[in-house]
Chains A and B, each alone.
Chain A
Amino acid sequence: MKQERPARTASTTPPTPTTQTVLRGRVGRFARRRTVVLVLAALIVIVLCVTLLVGQTIYSPGEVFRVILGENVPGATFTVGRLRLPRASLAVLAGLCFGLGGVTFQTMLRNPLASPDIIGISSGASAAAAFAIVTLGLGGTQVSIFAIVVGLAVALLIYTLSFKSGVAGTRLILIGIGIAAMLDSVTAYILSQAADWDLQAAQRWLTGSLNGPGWAQVVPVLVAVVVLSPVLLGQSRNLAVTQLGDDAASALGVRVDRTRLIVIATAVLLIAFATAAAGPIAFVAFLSGPIAARIVGPGASLLVPAALVGALLVLVADFIGQFALGTRLPVGVVTGVLGAPYLIYLIVRSNRSGGSL
């Protein structure tokens, strides 16, 4: 075998061929993940700029930049500052939340189909938000708080119900499906009682929509992303180890139940904040993880790439929904229709291969 150059990591002993292969593989995976993350971030920035510039009227980059700096530009201040900027920010933030929350559940339960939209987490937040707005007449931050409390309670309920000499992933998923069916029907009932609600507004709580958010809706999501994602990223190593199975993970020194609780709570909070602001944007939490897994390849942590994929998905889908088709469609309908075929393909593939991401 031909002698290779030493690997980039400095080591005192000369590496054996085996460790060299392992190291090379690891370096290659990390390099690939870094490239993917950079490309995704660049794409998000580009699409973000396009959504700010393009609309019914097209503004020059200079005008948009001055608006962002806080100057008063006739026309652009309202259109860009009040309409497009909050909308685009919410798209990015909600996408980050859904992507991150979704991939966390999928990784933890070791099943790509076990995303928050299927196992009842999104349904809980969405039913709570619909109840808070339609029945209680709350608004803004109060809705977020309500959605979050209920979202956590629902997650706790699912967790408790599936607890029977330890939590089994399969049981948790099935119980989640049952809870989701209940909560969806609650949402449907709440919406059917609100006669003066038009279909567009109702759609927000059925599939998700970014229509007309103010900064009051955006800020809670921003805070959630800033505070919670570091917590989740800090657990990513433990999360990866729990993939080996509970026993192996405990043997490696990971406190499995504690990790699981922290991770679930954080992911649920992310999902609940985003859902309170934008509704359960269909399939974003579901698709981000598997798409990221496809791009990054095996072995690397998926949390950051999946979050970015989520943000990109929501941005692009919202742009398509607003301008590409004749009528304006809410973003959730676009992600739903685009996501459904991929979802079906994913079920087929994961059942064939036995269910990893």
Chain B
Amino acid sequence: MTATVAPRISGAVLIRRSRRIRALGLLGALVVLAAVMVASVMIGSRDVGLGDVVAAFGGSADGFEQAAVVKRIPRTLLAVLAGAALGVSGAVMQGVTRNPLADPGILGVNMGASLAVVAGLAFFGLASPSLQIWVAIAGAAVTAVFVYTVGSLGRGGATPLKLALAGAATSAALVSFISAVVLGRNDIAGTVRSWQIGGVGGSTFASIEQVLPFLAIGFVVCLLSARGLNSLALGDDLAAGLGERVAVARGSAALGAVVLCGAATAVTGPIAFVGLVVPHACRLIVGVDHRWLIPFSALAGAILLTIADILGRIASRPGEVDVGIVTALIGAPFFIAIVRRRKIRAL
């Protein structure tokens, strides 16, 4: 760490970034996102030239290259949407729990959604995609409430350590439930695998269409609760003193976050660490104001997940590595870095 820079960006300066920096950041993120999306369509087990991409967007599907582009469009879209959803979900969860380690993956919320879908498939023959999304959201909500309740029992409330341990232990429990459900059922084992490791490879326009309304509602709820999150960051008492209805603010924000990560998990499977990494990175650019942080996290999450998906396709040609694996490999060192930087008392 460079000691000369640290004092300048520490403390109060981070809370309010100038409008110019934020606007530049926003512009930059949009440009990067566009570039990454184009790259995602071009790169794969067979690389495609820019000409073919343009042709494919024009509606033609001649030859191998253009067909590949057509196949890659839905997965790119899904990566963008799911990444945005997870990024926002993580930012809101960190705000609601006032906890730097909150993330839908670490808290086990994604696994809850997965288990709900897997159990629905195995026991009730739940085939309809829209029902699966509802079930996933319900599973995510139950898990989120459970983990938060358990993590905040006892002295000191929901400390990062207690919350992370409760999340890790709960997701270990959920994983073993999932494997118990799957093992007896070889008929659904193939379908279910995609809910054990997150990936965007199998996406179709139909599945994106199904999940889009849920994501839209989740985004809107999260954006509307940004103000409340800013008050909550001051502590419950101070927020109440400012006239914020603490329970309502916290509940609605958490609901938005759960809808986002539940719906995303319903189509992609559990993807961890996007929600952890993205808000931390964004805070460096836009500061801690949630009204800026949430849209930024959406963009950055989309960029991160799309890049992770591209990396997964490059890493083991001609096969591919599921994006859930790539994000864990990128995200876990980041998690460790956050833990190392904090003082022991704060854990």
Contacts and interface: CB of A to CB of B under 8 A. Distances in A.
B340 A336 contact: no
B179 A173 contact: no
Interface string A170-207: 11011101111110111011001100000100010011
A351 interface: yes
Interface stretch (A226-234, A251-259, A267-275, A337-345): A337-345
Interface string A29-70: 000000000000000000000000000000000000000000
A206 B164 contact: no
Contacts of B280: none
A351 B162 CA distance: 8
Contacts of B347: 168, 170-171, 174
Contacts of A351: 150-151, 153-154, 162, 166
B273 A171 contact: no
Q: For chain A, give the interface size range.
A: 35 or more
A354 B154 contact: yes
B14 interface: no
A347 B169 contact: yes
B117 to A, nearest CB: 18
Contacts of B154: 351-355
A161 interface: yes
Nearest to A199: B189
Interface stretch (A3-11, A81-89, A327-335): A327-335
A332 B175 CA distance: 11
Interface stretch (B37-45, B233-241, B291-299, B320-328): B320-328
A348 B344 contact: no
A113 interface: yes
A146 interface: no
A164 interface: yes
Contacts, number: 149
A185 B344 CA distance: 28
Given A170-B161, A351-B150, A351-B162, A177 B168 contact: yes
Given A181-B272, A189-B322, A329-B184, A174 B161 contact: yes
A117 interface: yes
A282 interface: yes
Contacts of B325: 185-186, 188-189
B336 interface: yes
Contacts of B339: 171, 174-175, 178
A94 interface: no
A308 interface: no
Given A177-B106, A184-B328, A351-B151, A164 B340 contact: yes
A341 to B, nearest CB: 8
Contact of B321 (A178, A189, A340): A189
By size class, the interface of chain B is 35 or more
B186 A207 contact: no
Contacts of A170: 161, 344, 347
Contacts of A330: 183
Interface string B158-201: 00111011101110111111011011101001000000110000
A61 to B, nearest CB: 33
Interface string A151-180: 000000000011010001011011101111
A175 B336 contact: yes
B165 A347 contact: yes
Interface centre among A181, A182, A283, A343 (most CB of B within 10 A): A181
A118 interface: yes
B281 interface: no
B166 A347 contact: yes
Given A173-B165, A343-B173, A181 B335 contact: yes
Nearest to A163: B340
A192 B322 contact: yes
Contacts of B101: 174
Interface string A92-134: 0000000000000000000101100110000000000000000
Contacts of A206: 179
B173 A340 contact: yes
Interface string B283-319: 0000000000000000000000000000000001001
Contact of A118 (B106, B172, B322): B172
Contacts of A355: 154
A348 B184 CA distance: 30
A327 B183 contact: yes
A282 B172 contact: yes
Interface of B: 101, 105-106, 150-151, 153-155, 160-162, 164-166, 168-170, 172-177, 179-180, 182-184, 186, 189, 196-197, 272-273, 316, 319, 321-322, 324-325, 328-329, 331-333, 335-336, 339-340, 344, 347
Interface of A: 111, 113-114, 117-118, 161-162, 164, 168, 170-171, 173-175, 177-182, 184-186, 188-189, 192-193, 199, 203, 206-207, 282-283, 326-327, 329-330, 332-333, 335-337, 339-341, 343-344, 347-348, 351-355
19 contacts: A111-B165, A113-B165, A114-B165, A171-B339, A177-B164, A177-B335, A181-B105, A186-B325, A188-B197, A188-B322, A199-B182, A203-B183, A282-B172, A329-B180, A343-B169, A344-B169, A347-B170, A351-B154, A353-B154
Given A188-B322, A326-B184, 17 more contacts: A161-B336, A162-B340, A171-B344, A173-B165, A174-B161, A174-B335, A174-B339, A177-B106, A181-B105, A182-B333, A206-B179, A330-B183, A333-B183, A343-B169, A344-B169, A352-B154, A354-B154
In the complex, the 4 A-B pairs of residues with the closest C-beta atoms, listed nearest first: A336-B176, A340-B173, A185-B328, A182-B332
